[in-house]
Structure 1
Amino acid sequence: MCRCDRRTIMHLFLLLILQATAAFGQIDPAHCRSALGMGDKRIKDEAITASSQWYETTGPQYARLNLEEGDGAWCPKGQLEPSDSQYLQVDLGSLTFLTVVGTQGRYARNSGNEFARAYRLNYSSDGGLWKSWRDRLGNTVIEGNKDAYTSVIKDIHPPIITRYIRLMPVTKPFTTVCMRVELYGCLWDDGLISYSAPEGQPMTQPGYPFASFNDSTYDGVHEKRKLSGGLGQLTDGVIGLDDFLLTRQYNVWPGYDYLGWRNDSLGSQGYVEMEFVFDKQRNFTSMKVHSNNMFSRGVKIFSSVSCWFKPRLIAAWEPEPVTFVTVLDDRNPSARYVTVPLNRRTAKSIRCRFVFADVWMMFSEVSFQSVDTIVPTLLVPSPAANEETTGTTSLKTTVSPSPSGPPEDVSTPILIGCLVTIILLLVVIIFLILWCQCVCKVLEKAPRRILDEDVTVRLSSCSDTIILQTPPVPPRSGHTPGPVNTDPHYERVFLLDPQYQNPAVLRNKLPELSQSAEASACGGGYAEPDITQCTPHQCFHSNAPHYAETDIVRLQGVTGSNMYAVPALTVDSLTRKDISAAEFPRQQLIFREKLGEGQFGEVHLCEAEGLTEFLGEGSPLPESDGHSVLVAVKQLRADATSQARNDFLKEIKIMSRLNGPNIIRLLCVCVSSDPLCMVTEYMENGDLNMFLSQREIESTLTHANNIPSVSLSDLLHMSVQIASGMKYLASLNFVHRDLATRNCLLDRRLTIKIADFGMSRNLYSSDYYRIQGRAVLPIRWMAWESILLGKFTTASDVWAFGVTLWEIFTLCKEQPYSLLSDEQVIENTGEFFRNQGRQIFLYSPPLCPPSLFELMMRCWRRDIPDRPTFEGLYQALRPQVNSEQRPPGCRLGRGFP
């Protein structure tokens, strides 16, 4: 039997506590987005002040988002000039990690029309020293509202740690300004109000891009190559990647996420000294330091750290430090948190010396775990008698003598009890995890349903802007309001109208769904009257999208690729004679990669030997110089049904009719024997989504560091090519039904061709809404009538084109409506149908010219006749491309494959 002495028990307990804090101690900006209490009045009136007010009824206490008390908002006195510095100030009561700001103007039940088009933020932790917020690129002005009633939600990058916040309206002309506000974030438990450190340094190594490891968002003083009195990237919640040259932010330089130092640049001291100041005296249990460990490039975690403590700012440093020694890891290059135990030492300020283990040392985050209650320092055995090594860390602690004798006999029962409690909690947690996994497996087998309750949207998007249309809506007569959502983690965006749950009500409210139009809505919805004949009951399945299994197959196609919708096309008698494409020798197709699959077929990437010579003159393929050509091969499985076989032949016939310069071509077929195959073009540069997501917008920085980039002119040229391809499809009355950047391919000269097999690729499975266990509907790109009615037309393709433009001008860094879950996207579709001003639109990308975003908004109009045609879109986009620029394929060589 193994005997455990009291020291071992104490260390086991300490390690369990440290592991728990290592897992949960770091703040996460993506989830720290709770409303802080302006809208629900948890922030009291006396905590809201202002530099001035126009009337008593437009005082600062009325600056509450979505409320219309008094005269509807806070309005500073007089018309503002560009030089004015009027402000609205909010006292949050304690240090807060602020991540999001929401603003409105003065609507006042349609009697007001004053709003702030832009604003700045000032902040302070003590109400005395005020600092100006700036974004990661140094900009201080935040775009505000464009009308009086729309809520504009802005992410604050980087976030702010503050107690007091001031919103300062910015205006160019003389104008009257009014504001309503909500602030989002969470409590800053660290209590850290500033850190001081040596300034970060650049890295220049042959064969690698220039990297700068300075603290670019630091809001304190930069003096004599030292940072002091502020906070910056070490407290912004952004954790650096394993490769320090990669970043989580866009349009920044390599090394941006880390603050780093070179050993020989700090003299002969061999360490980095940092000082941390807190809001009050605390008992510290541990410190977490996220450190890079890319040892192949001379970067390692620190070898040891010693921390000294100061109970008051005017006191001297205590002589006895806490020392922590790490066991260096030369096998795993991953960045990691190193947790340093601080043994419940009491302090208001901590000074730590981190000792170099290699040439470089880099930190991306530092956080502290503490308790507010001040208790005597925890006593542990002396360092001479106790040096424990566990896992990858070695603990060496400094102690103080006990004035009242050995404490171990008193504390042992308590420690044992705590240890048993933690073990029981872990057992309960493991049981809950296993139970949740079991339940989730059961739920995955059930079809997804539209929620029956009011929809709430968690503000957890990484995007900068979302627009919430919220004009006041009076309650329906006889309707008793339900309980108010008081969960601070959620912000109510819109209510799910009962008519969305009742298809009959929905059908009666839409002219195109009247009894006289039901047949055309069902049959013509897909532009395939011969395929989708359905009853009203089939068209409106209760509480779920109405698509039947037969409709799903024809939406997805037998190989998992999208299947074009065309005017009535007889399929009953399709044979080999109906196919004009030439028969290619099957043995000359060499399999390279499986791209995706559907219910009855697969899509493969293959090399076709001798294909250029086989096709002869007029071949759409580039010169191959005798080499094989990459092609996409759609193949029908041997176990496919006769209906699937007929559908596959129909798809070949459809594809053979397409011959546009911006449309993927059917090259040849293998249908003389099973399995049936069709061979289409495949482009060297892959799909547009992957291509753009790996690039940045062209700038001096991208040129200097050889970063793959695109210019605004390139993006416009890509948009024109897609519009050209869709114009061609529309001229043939073809409906694509899955237009998106994932379905646009690029060749070596960056010519774009519209394809149809993005639906089959596992890479993009999250872009599709699952019905009956399969990824089927690209609802984030679909028009409201396609989701609610199953109606696919050229006008619904125009809607998808608007979303595709949005993807292009965000460089595909974000999924459309990333704020919303799939179910909430469907709920939002209901708001587009009801058209009561509560629908959520995609925000305007920063790279997008205003005229182009206006074009996107026209694509998303509720009424189908109001949307532009593809001919109109092509004519509107073509003049925007700079005709003096060379084609993108001629000048995008930097960093391109």
Structure 2
Amino acid sequence: MENHLIFLLPETLPCVVGVCRYPLGMSGGQIQDEDISASSQWSESTAARYGRLDFEEGDGAWCPERTVEPDSLKEFLQIDLRSLHFITLVGTQGRHAGGIGNEFAQMYKIKYSRDGSRWISWRNRQGEQVIEGNRNAYDIMLKDLEPPIIARFVRFMPVSDHSMNVCMRVELYGCEWLDGLVSYNAPAGEQMSLEGQPVHFNDSVYDGAVIYSMTEGLGQLTDGMCGLDDFTHSHVYNVWPGYDYVGWTNESFPNGYVEIMFEFDRTRNFTTMKVHCNNMFTRHIKAFRQVVCYFRSEADWEATPLSFSPVVDDVNPSARFITVSLANHMASAMKCHFYFADTWMMFSEITFQSDTAMYNTTLAPPKTGSGPPTRDDPTHKIDDSNTRILIGCLVAIIFILVAIIVIILWRQVWQKMLEKASRRMLDDELTASLSLQSETFAYSHNNPSSSSAPSEQESSSTYERIFPLGPDYQEPSRLIRKLPEFSHSSEEAGDMKSPYCDGVPHYAEADIVNLQGVTGGNTYAVPALTMDLLSGKDVAVEEFPRKLLTFKEKLGEGQFGEVHLCEAEGMQEFMDEDFSFDISDNQPVLVAVKMLRADANKNARNDFLKEIKIMSRLKDPNIIRLLAVCICSDPLCMITEYMENGDLNQFLSRHEPEGQLALISNAPTVSYSNLCYMATQIASGMRYLSSLNFVHRDLATRNCLVGKNYTIKIADFGMSRNLYSGDYYRIQGRAVLPIRWMSWESILLGKFTTASDVWAFGVTLWETLTFCNEQPYSQLTDEQVIENTGEFFRDQKRQVYLPQPVLCPDSVYKIMLNCWRRNTKERPSFQEIHRALLENDT
């Protein structure tokens, strides 16, 4: 059965699942060692704490004491998330240990618990428990949990059809479960006869007991998936009509209502409840006529219920959320009577908004392995006098915050006035000192002698323009001026005579087109003048039929879309005459498909189309080529080349340098001359980009793809892959920057230029000659890396450079050091780098 790439249309998007996909802390270290336990361990160096995705500490993974036997579920790796989380995705990896290990789990099961006592076996929507694991010891395998789970404790249980040694590294992806709901009890869903065919409205993923009613579990009403307007269709494939909804008929309820009881993790202060209802009134289905809710804060139910009546809609048949105000009731449980407005009532999702109630006692989480969490009985609410004091403090805080906001707004207005004035000055400079050669889009200076050298195209915007940062990071250049060690005069600062430190003509902030990119990151920064020329031409690629794309795996995802690895049939017919594949005409071609999310905003769509225009003009042997597009209907897609050997980082990490050690380990090798050949190709591709004034901003081995015979092509979707999340420094939980590859002026001043790409090339060359065995500056924390950039700025000979790799001759290490020169004008051009590498290889 063919597995085609599936595109989600806007009306089929999930309520929560599509955005709740953040790593929860195994690879990032937020989950502490004491919260990771296991049934057993083979040795101290393979203990549970080493089961972190993409980490190589200890012996490289968690390994159980015994081999895994068929039909045995005795061994497990357990993670305590300390609170309830909504988990949508899991990642697994085996034990590689630099080529020494080769153990991995080919299959596994997941069990989860919300309280540590009752464990539930995860099943997919077809009822299957076994999840496909890894095929080798080093690649990361990501698997969507369909349905997602709500849990505090999660166990990974390796499974095998024969006796074998296994090791695992894992990660969980999702977000915190803010609802606090631990179970709902409701009557079992019923069956409708529609045109002689049964339509089932049962809660098929409910994880509690289901007999005549559903008790002590969660299911489709909390799975983050909203039903469609037409209940007979579903955004889940290969399921029955009515799958998305839990529904009841009034014939089964003589009292005229359905009672649903909700249990929460602790007493909460409830503000609203949102119920997603079907309203297909032509089929005698309507949203509820009235809901009456009772609250239990301690032992007894409150005598006075809350009642809410929405407006009955007989005009619009669309499914919708109905928001019920809960008037800040304090409760740990709630039961609601939903009254019928017609023959049928159907819900697909119920969510709650609340704050945790304040008590004199607190919830004390248990230590790992000590059993379920316990809670002191909350017996006393805060008394009225304390409440008055608290309110008074809150009012005072609000006044202070208002004053701070007024000051910030006033400063921003003043700053914008200064920016406008400086921008006018910069525009005048630009007009006087720039000329654009339309044939090559080359950016040259007024000095004719310099026109042959690739010039620097500079994005002078601060991080406020590049990433949505918080106030502490919006103005790095202004922040620098406040620091005593950075308050040098222009004479002391060397080439720092202005915020534009290289002294060459630059593009003003308004003259740069910064595209976010479907994968969330560093799509080439392009001069607006170049973009204007591009926008005046038609896209030089053809529309490709979606049905000819066959899904292979998800490569990654970003803020605005996803990247999929696919096979494309008949792609040769859509190619230019100057491009050919090294395969026969009747074979499918391996391609990468960038897909814009269907819910992306207008700006993201415009950026996507601009990115297509840019990519369609890039034609170089060492740059990933745009092959075709799918833009006649949503979701928008661009289809690019993909190289069969994956990215350079993973390729080199699976190989060893030629020598005695490689012979002993029987590992595949790459010669030094082939390393130089690959580095030369990267320099050639960057030489081409710099000739067009394009700034890549994320050059690294993860963004270089490897084909046959060590062919290299530069790409741009490394940021979208969870595999490389550790390469990016997260600022205030939002923006991510590849700081270990960035020049000092990019980090401190927010400047991205051809010269900063040269700096990143030096780091990429260092990665290549070390076979990507470690991260750049692996001995430094992220904060220390940023501090080191300050040493480059001060230039007092205290900065730390990357060390010379073992395989690297002095002449090549000199190229790296030249790439990392403090003064941007002293760094070599990519043309010079390319020539030097060619001479070194010969």
Query: TM-score scaled by structure 1?
Result: 0.47
Query: TM-score scaled by structure 2?
Result: 0.50
Greater CA radius of gyration, 1 or 2?
Answer: 1
